[in-house]
Amino acid sequence: MAVVHQSCVGYGAEPFASLVADYPGDDVYPSADFRTEWGPVFHRGRLDGSARVLVLGQDPATHEAISRRILVGEAGQRVQGLLAKIGVHTAYAMVNVYLYSVFGQAAGSRHAKDAAIAAYRHRWLDALLVGTDVTAVVALGDLAATAYAAWARTQPATAGSLHLAAIRHPTYAEGFARASGKPLAETTASQLANWNDHLGDLAAHVTPEGPTDLTPYAATWGPTDLAPIPEVDLPPGAPAWWRDVDAWATRTGDDKQTKRATISVVVPKGARTWPAL
């Protein structure tokens, strides 16, 4: 029997049709600080009212620039694993603080309070949170926590009814190890301890779609802690390896210009199923 594929149905219904029709460009997101040349990446997950959890990430990276959905690479697979623990497999929606990939670490903080960036983001958050079945928000990292707090001030009634899990960003450990010189093992253990701190409360505020497994994270990532991205989350025809844990998109180039202009996409070894050449 033919395989029946699932795919993201996109942005046909309002208010999402309008949101993707009039997104902010370089006038709001300066290209010195954002990789606007790769276009905006809007969301991942359910826009049909079936979401129970909203994940607020930071900004899209290489895998997201290619797949046109957010939180698809390593960070996304870690979040997917967290949601799986609380029994949520597809009943979520995800948006980022920024539509475009941040260029340079400091740029993210520099624009944390930009009114025009926030105004557009608030339209998405209103659409996904006000009068919907979402009961909990997972904010990934400090920028997401700040952005959520700014939105919450505009919608105090809705925000007051939502559980907020403001957890460390899924790639906090790598970033903090690089910045501080601390061993990655130490920063990873600290990140996972932080996620453990939030796991029980988060689970208590979300109706699961299936069984939960609230086994705490160990001090390091375990083999089942990352989960692949569901097929239904990606645009039609997306190759299966886009959803796998193996990385497949990296910025390459010998100088800054080339590196900003280039994302190399390589089919992971495990997905090279063609006959031997």
Residues forming the site for ligand URA (CB under 6 A): 57-61, 64, 70-71, 75-76, 96, 140
Compute the least distance from the CB of residue 244 to ligand URA, in Å. 16
Compute the least distance from the CB of residue 101 to ligand URA, in Å. 8
Compute the least distance from the CB of residue 94 to ligand URA, in Å. 8
Sole residue written with tokens 């375990």: 222
Query: 3-class DSSP state for residue 102?
Result: strand
CA 200 to chain centre: 21
Our CB check for ligand URA shows the closer of 259 and 272 to be: 259
Our CB check for ligand URA shows the closer of 70 and 234 to be: 70
Our CB check for ligand URA shows the closer of 212 and 245 to be: 245
Q: Which long-range contacts link 212-215 to residues 24+ away (Cβ below 8 Å)?
A: 212/85, 212/86, 212/87, 213/84, 213/85, 213/87, 214/85, 214/86, 215/85
Compute the least distance from the CB of residue 106 to ligand URA, in Å. 16
Our CB check for ligand URA shows the closer of 58 and 188 to be: 58
Using alpha carbons, select from 41, 40, 20 the residue that is nearest to residue 31.
40
Compute the least distance from the CB of residue 40 to ligand URA, in Å. 11
Stated as kind and residue range, the H or E segment containing 54 is strand 53-57
Give the CB-nearest residue to ligand URA: 57
Compute the least distance from the CB of residue 64 to ligand URA, in Å. 5
Rounded-to-integer distance, Cα 24 and Cα 98, Å? 11
Residue 45 structure tokens: 């997950």
Contact status, residue 40 vs residue 26, Cβ threshold 8 Å: no
Rounded-to-integer distance, Cα 2 and Cα 88, Å? 28
Our CB check for ligand URA shows the closer of 75 and 234 to be: 75
Rounded-to-integer distance, Cα 275 and Cα 110, Å? 50
Our CB check for ligand URA shows the closer of 10 and 208 to be: 10
